[in-house]
């Protein structure tokens, strides 16, 4: 079973065969095959066909495969779903979600398509994107709209435009939105994914922004260029010290659970369920299975 | 031998070739008719000259047909002495003398007739002369032949003068063609939209929706009354050279006359105020774009209409503004609700271009039959209703009703099967009738979408 890691989601324009084909080799945790903004109107059909065929035939080497479709109120959304759902990507990303009913509408369509093709219902996860002020205001409702939703993401560029502000390096204008989105994700125990960092030549800027994203609770970040992957992984990866402590905690927890003890002390620190969950998450990120140790 | 001698030699060779063709026709026992241009100096052919030649030649052929003169064995040559058309004359009801006279009439009545040279030769190879001499195009005082032989005028001055005349003529021709096309696209668009059946709450061929005071023929009447005025608007757009901030008033001048005409033929019923305004701006901007840039491009069109509509939203504060649905809604809910014809122009036709047009782009509309067209247009209309804050709806109801209508339209659009689509559509239809609403603004946008589809198709790659 693959460990649930989503430190990076690499955007790949859906009409670019070379990039789609290479999607799995860059080492991102998720490939994000895009049918929406990176694809020109005239290329929509070609992109849809290419992405469908590639998902069917290409090995993405354990990378999670996500497709961003066009919004359901555009001419392309429904056709995207009719093409993409049957090839069962692990998740579908939905742009510009503003209300709970926006998500439910799409999920209902997906279920109809699943039934039509005899696909098990509910396996394809849904990742709503919050890209407008209204979406931010409704984010908790959106995040908890349906069990399929296991991550929620922010679309920084569109959100600044919708708010009528200029995007600054420190992202001051987006701070409230980012924290609101993280909080909604945490409240629903799902992932919170940060927006892209647009300047692919500014490694220091990328690192600073990613460190901040991690600090406020994001679990991963979208990427527009493979060069950005290593820096983001580096930030999200646990340190040796964190791993050491986590192993200790999980081991102690397993031993105590076997004895029927729920809460216990370790190195003078009270250990309860949330601490264990966090420790387990660190081990996941480090690809460590406690049973192998 | 210097360059000049070389040129003269080549011109003589070309003339020789022409004589041989004439000779051949004579030997076959036919009279012949030749058509060429009098272009002094060298080179005899430029891009403008060949375009001009082809236009006038096709006018001349039509003129011959209209006068029941039949030609066969057409030769079309481009060589050192210019472009040259020669054909044999089938026997016709007219005598050869008569044909010569008709050709002279053509030359005399054409505005650049002095540049045209039509010769008629009888079946023995003799030139038919009417004994009249054409006056020189430049000085208009002496016979052209005299000025030419005595080289009375400076060649380069003469050529400059002639080329300017040709250029102006081509511009006027192009303008007429563009304006004709734009009016026919506007007409097509408006009639496509009216004829789309079914439409929820709106007038279609089958019923009048919620509108008790109008039906399908009311729209045919008012469309017919306004349609030709779009030619005027296209002409204005084509020749407009002031700042775009003056464009709106210029469009409105014609628009207000159109509204008057509409009210006159419908006995005071507002059938098409919205489309008069929207189509007026779209036709004007398309014409200006094609005139300025030589081709049509959606992004430039969008920018231009945005500039035309720069101050349009401030007009809501004007006291003198007559009551439109858009204005009433803005007073009730504020400018930010969008929707309405003014907001659509201010946004550079964003709703039409983003949601409606892509629905048509996949199709060759000209090649599909009526029911196919209806299907495509129906889907485009659903998508427009689903994305447009239609002030026709809001002013009769509320924002809540509008939102509900939008979501019903999107649901219908996104139906997976035709049966679902039919059932979902029935729900919309009932909803419109129960709430006494009709998405007329979205229907107007559909007409704009059809118009843009044809303009884009025709003028995307023109140079």
Answer yes or no: are the C-beta atoms of A193 and A152 closer than 8 Å: yes
Answer yes or no: are the C-beta atoms of B116 and B37 closer than 8 Å: yes
Q: How far apart are CA B76 and CA A32, in angstroms?
A: 60
Among A206, A209, A236, residue whose Cα is nearest residue A220: A236
Going by their DSSP bridges, the two strands B31-37 and B116-121 should be labelled as: antiparallel
Q: Where are the beta strands (DSSP E) in B182-300?
A: none
Instruction: Determine if residue B35 is left, alpha or beta; phi over 0 gives left, psi from -120 to 50 gives alpha, anything else beta.
Output: beta
* Tens of pLDDT, residues B215-238: 999 999 999 999 999 999 999 999
Tokens encoding A265: 């002390």
Say yes or no to pLDDT of B24 above 90: no
A-chain residues near B362 (CB < 8 A): 45
B407/A75 Cβ within 8 A: no
Answer yes or no: are the C-beta atoms of B361 and B453 closer than 8 Å: yes
Highest mean pLDDT out of A21-25, A125-129, A240-244: A125-129
Among A41, A42, A78, beta carbon nearest to B414: A78
Q: Calculate how close chain A gets to B367, using CA atoms only, in Å.
A: 20
Contacts of B429 (CB under 8 A, 6+ apart): B198, B200, B201
Among A185, A130, A182, residue whose Cα is nearest residue A159: A130
Say yes or no to pLDDT of B25 above 90: no
A-chain residues near B352 (CB < 8 A): none
Say yes or no to pLDDT of A34 above 80: yes
Confidence bin at A2 (pLDDT 50/70/90): very low
Say yes or no to pLDDT of A262 above 80: no
Residue A77's closest chain B neighbor by CA? Answer: B414
- The DSSP code for B136 is P
- Spatial strand order of the sheet with B71-79 comes to B71-79, B82-89, B31-37, B116-121
Confidence bin at B6 (pLDDT 50/70/90): confident
Among B204, B336, B207, B326, residue whose Cα is nearest residue B277: B326
Percentage of residues in chain B having pLDDT higher than 90: 65
Q: Provide the 3-class DSSP secondary structure of residue A287.
A: coil
Q: Where are the beta strands (DSSP E) in chain A?
A: 8-13, 30-34, 64-68, 91-94, 125-130, 151-154, 191-194, 220-223, 264-266, 269-271
Answer yes or no: are the C-beta atoms of B194 and B223 closer than 8 Å: yes
B-chain residues near A45 (CB < 8 A): 362
Q: What is the DSSP string of B81-105?
A: TEEEEEEEEPP-SS-HHHHHHHHHH
Instruction: Determine if residue A268 is left, alpha or beta; phi over 0 gives left, psi from -120 to 50 gives alpha, anything else beta.
Output: left
Whether chain A has a CB inside 8 Å of the CB on B354: the answer is yes
Confidence bin at B43 (pLDDT 50/70/90): confident
Residue B463: per-residue pLDDT: 47
Composition of chain B by helix, strand, coil, percent to 5? 65, 5, 25
* Tens of pLDDT, residues A58-84: 888 889 999 999 999 999 999 999 999
Q: Calculate how close chain A gets to B410, using CA atoms only, in Å.
A: 6
B361/A109 Cβ within 8 A: no
Say yes or no to pLDDT of B132 above 80: no
Say yes or no to pLDDT of A1 above 60: no
Residue B410's closest chain A neighbor by CA? Answer: A73
Q: How far apart are CA A192 and CA A189, in angstroms?
A: 9
Residue B93: per-residue pLDDT: 58
B-chain residues near A75 (CB < 8 A): 355, 358-359, 383
Tokens encoding B38: 């009098």
**Count of C-beta atoms within a 10 Å radius of residue B224:** 14
B-chain residues near A73 (CB < 8 A): 355, 383, 386-387, 410
Q: Calculate how close chain B gets to A96, using CA atoms only, in Å.
A: 14
Contacts of B72 (CB under 8 A, 6+ apart): B87, B88, B90
Whether chain A has a CB inside 8 Å of the CB on B105: the answer is no
pTM of the model: 0.83
Say yes or no to pLDDT of B302 above 90: yes
Q: Which residues of A have a CB under 8 Å from any CB of B?
A: 41-42, 44-45, 72-78, 82, 101, 105, 109, 112-113, 116
A73/B383 Cβ within 8 A: yes
B-chain residues near A105 (CB < 8 A): 407, 410-411, 414
A76/B416 Cβ within 8 A: no
Tokens encoding B321: 């503004």
Residue A74's closest chain B neighbor by CA? Answer: B355
Note which residues in 360-379 of chain B have CB less than 8 A from chain A. Answer: 361-362
Angle between helices A240-258 and A273-285 (to 10 degrees): 130
Residue B103: per-residue pLDDT: 93
Q: How far apart are CA A251 and CA B277, in angstroms?
A: 75
Among A41, A105, A116, beta carbon nearest to B358: A41
Tokens encoding B334: 């504020």
Residues in chain A: 293
Note which residues in 405-444 of chain B have CB less than 8 A from chain A. Answer: 407, 410-411, 413-414, 416
Residue A179: per-residue pLDDT: 97
* Tens of pLDDT, residues B73-130: 898 988 877 899 999 988 655 688 899 999 999 999 999 998 999 999 988 888 888 7
- Determine which of A35-44, B18-27, B249-258 has the lowest per-residue pLDDT on average: B18-27
Q: What angle do CA A232, A234, A240 make, to 5 degrees?
A: 150
* Tens of pLDDT, residues B307-329: 999 888 777 766 555 677 777 77
Residue B454: per-residue pLDDT: 97
**Count of C-beta atoms within a 10 Å radius of residue B410:** 23
Maximum alpha-carbon separation in chain A: 64
B416/A109 Cβ within 8 A: yes
What is the b/e burial string over B249-285, where b = at least 16 CB atoms within 10 angstroms of the residue's CB?
Answer: ebbbebbeebbebbbebbeebbbbbbbbbbbbbbbbb
Number of H helices, E strands in chain B: 19, 4
Among A101, A107, A200, residue whose Cα is nearest residue A147: A107
Confidence bin at B148 (pLDDT 50/70/90): confident
A-chain residues near B384 (CB < 8 A): none
Say yes or no to pLDDT of B462 above 70: no
Residue B321: per-residue pLDDT: 59
Whether chain A has a CB inside 8 Å of the CB on B133: the answer is no
Pick from B357, B414, B421, B424 the residue to mutate for testing the A interface (most A CBs within 10 Å).
Answer: B414
Among A75, A101, A109, beta carbon nearest to B358: A75
Q: How far apart are CA B277 and CA B288, in angstroms?
A: 17
What is the b/e burial string over B368-388, where b = at least 16 CB atoms within 10 angstroms of the residue's CB?
Answer: eeeeebbebbbbbbbbbbbbb
Supply φ then ψ for residue A230, to 5 degrees.
-60, -40
B407/A101 Cβ within 8 A: yes
Residue B218: per-residue pLDDT: 97
CA dihedral (B245, B247, B249, B255) in degrees, to 10, reads -150
* Tens of pLDDT, residues B326-385: 777 777 777 767 668 989 999 999 999 999 999 998 788 989 999 999 999 999 999 999
Residue B421: per-residue pLDDT: 95
Pick from B410, B415, B420, B461 the residue to mutate for testing the A interface (most A CBs within 10 Å).
Answer: B410
Among A73, A75, A82, beta carbon nearest to B359: A75
Residue reference for tokens 């001419």 = A75
A-chain residues near B407 (CB < 8 A): 101, 105
* Tens of pLDDT, residues A132-191: 999 999 999 999 999 999 999 999 999 999 999 988 888 899 999 999 999 999 999 999
Say yes or no to pLDDT of B56 above 90: yes
A-chain residues near B354 (CB < 8 A): 74
Sign of CA dihedral B153, B157, B158, B161: negative
A82/B358 Cβ within 8 A: no
- Determine which of A24-28, A152-156, B1-5 has the lowest per-residue pLDDT on average: B1-5
Q: What angle do CA A72, A53, A27 make, to 5 degrees?
A: 90
Whether chain A has a CB inside 8 Å of the CB on B383: the answer is yes
A113/B358 Cβ within 8 A: no
The number of C-beta contacts closer than 8 angstroms across A and B is: 36
Answer yes or no: are the C-beta atoms of B36 and B77 closer than 8 Å: no
């Amino acid at each position: 079973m693959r460990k649930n890691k989503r430190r990076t989601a690499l955007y790949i324009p859906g009409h670019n065969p070379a990039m789609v084909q290479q999607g799995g080799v860059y080492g991102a945790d998720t490939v994000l095959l895009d049918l929406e903004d990176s694809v020109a109107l005239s290329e929509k059909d070609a992109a849809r066909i290419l992405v469908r065929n590639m998902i069917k035939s290409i090995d993405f080497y354990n990378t999670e495969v996500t497709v961003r479709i066009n919004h359901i109120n555009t001419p392309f959304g429904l056709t995207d779903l009719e093409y993409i759902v049957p090839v069962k990507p692990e998740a579908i990303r939905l742009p510009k979600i503003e209300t709970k009913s926006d998500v439910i509408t799409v999920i209902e369509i997906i279920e109809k398509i699943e039934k039509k093709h005899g696909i098990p219902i509910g396996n394809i996860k849904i990742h709503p994107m919050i890209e407008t002020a209204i979406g931010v205001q409704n984010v908790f409702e959106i995040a908890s709209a349906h069990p399929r939703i296991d991550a929620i993401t922010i679309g920084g560029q569109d959100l600044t435009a919708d708010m009528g502000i200029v995007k600054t390096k420190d992202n001051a204008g987006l701070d409230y939105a980012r924290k609101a989105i993280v909080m909604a994700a945490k409240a629903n125990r799902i992932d919170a994914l940060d927006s892209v960092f647009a300047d692919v030549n500014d490694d220091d800027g990328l690192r600073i922004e990613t460190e901040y994203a991690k600090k406020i609770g994001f679990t991963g970040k979208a990427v527009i260029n493979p060069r950005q992957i290593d820096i983001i992984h580096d930030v999200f990866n646990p340190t040796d010290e964190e791993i050491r402590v986590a192993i200790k905690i999980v081991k102690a927890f397993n031993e105590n659970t076997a004895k029927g003890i729920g809460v216990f002390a370790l190195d003078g620190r009270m250990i309860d369920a949330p601490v264990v969950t966090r420790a387990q998450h660190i081990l996941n990120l480090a690809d460590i299975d406690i049973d192998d140790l | 031998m210097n360059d000049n001698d070389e040129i003269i030699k080549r011109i003589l060779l070309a003339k020789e070739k022409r004589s041989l063709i004439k000779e051949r026709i004579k030997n076959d026992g036919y009279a012949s008719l030749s058509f060429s241009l009098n272009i002094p100096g060298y080179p005899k052919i430029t891009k403008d000259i060949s375009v001009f030649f082809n236009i006038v030649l096709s006018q001349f052929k039509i003129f011959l047909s209209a006068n029941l003169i039949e030609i066969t064995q057409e030769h079309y040559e481009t060589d050192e002495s210019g472009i040259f058309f020669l054909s044999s004359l089938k026997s016709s009801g007219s005598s050869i003398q008569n044909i010569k006279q008709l050709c002279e009439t053509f030359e005399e009545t054409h505005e650049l007739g002095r540049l045209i040279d039509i010769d008629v030769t009888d079946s023995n190879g003799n030139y038919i002369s009417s004994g009249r001499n054409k006056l020189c195009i430049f000085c208009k005082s002496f016979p052209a032949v005299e000025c030419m032989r005595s080289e009375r005028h400076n060649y380069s001055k003469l050529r400059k003068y002639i080329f300017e005349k040709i250029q102006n003529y081509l511009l006027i021709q192009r303008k007429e063609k563009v304006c004709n096309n734009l009016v026919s696209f506007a007409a097509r668009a408006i009639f496509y939209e009216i004829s789309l059946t079914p439409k929820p709450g709106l007038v279609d061929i089958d019923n009048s929706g919620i509108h008790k005071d109008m039906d399908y023929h009311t729209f045919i009447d008012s469309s017919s009354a306004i349609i030709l005025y779009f030619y005027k608007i296209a002409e204005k757009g084509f020749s407009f050279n002031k700042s775009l901030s003056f464009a709106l008033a210029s469009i409105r001048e014609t628009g207000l006359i159109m509204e008057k005409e509409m009210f006159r033929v419908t006995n005071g019923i507002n059938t098409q105020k919205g489309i008069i305004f929207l189509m007026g701006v779209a036709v004007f901007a398309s014409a200006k774009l094609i005139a300025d840039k030589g081709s049509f491009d959606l992004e430039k069109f969008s920018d231009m209409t945005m500039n035309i509509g720069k101050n349009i939203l401030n007009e809501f504060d004007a006291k003198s503004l007559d009551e439109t649905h858009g204005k009433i809604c803005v007073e009730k809910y504020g400018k930010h609700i969008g929707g309405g014809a003014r907001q659509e122009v201010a946004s550079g036709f964003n709703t039409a271009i983003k949601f409606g047009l892509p629905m048509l782009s996949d199709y060759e509309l000209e090649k599909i039959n009526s029911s196919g067209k209806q299907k495509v247009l129906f889907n485009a209309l659903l998508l427009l209703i689903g994305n447009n804050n239609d002030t026709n709806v809001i002013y009769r109801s509320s924002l809540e009703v509008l939102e509900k209508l939008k979501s019903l339209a999107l649901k219908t659009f996104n139906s997976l099967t035709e049966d679902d689509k039919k059932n979902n559509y029935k729900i919309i239809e009932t909803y419109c009738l129960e709430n006494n609403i009709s998405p007329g603004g979205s229907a107007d946008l559909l007409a704009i979408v059809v118009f843009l589809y044809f303009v884009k198709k025709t003028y995307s790659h023109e140079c």
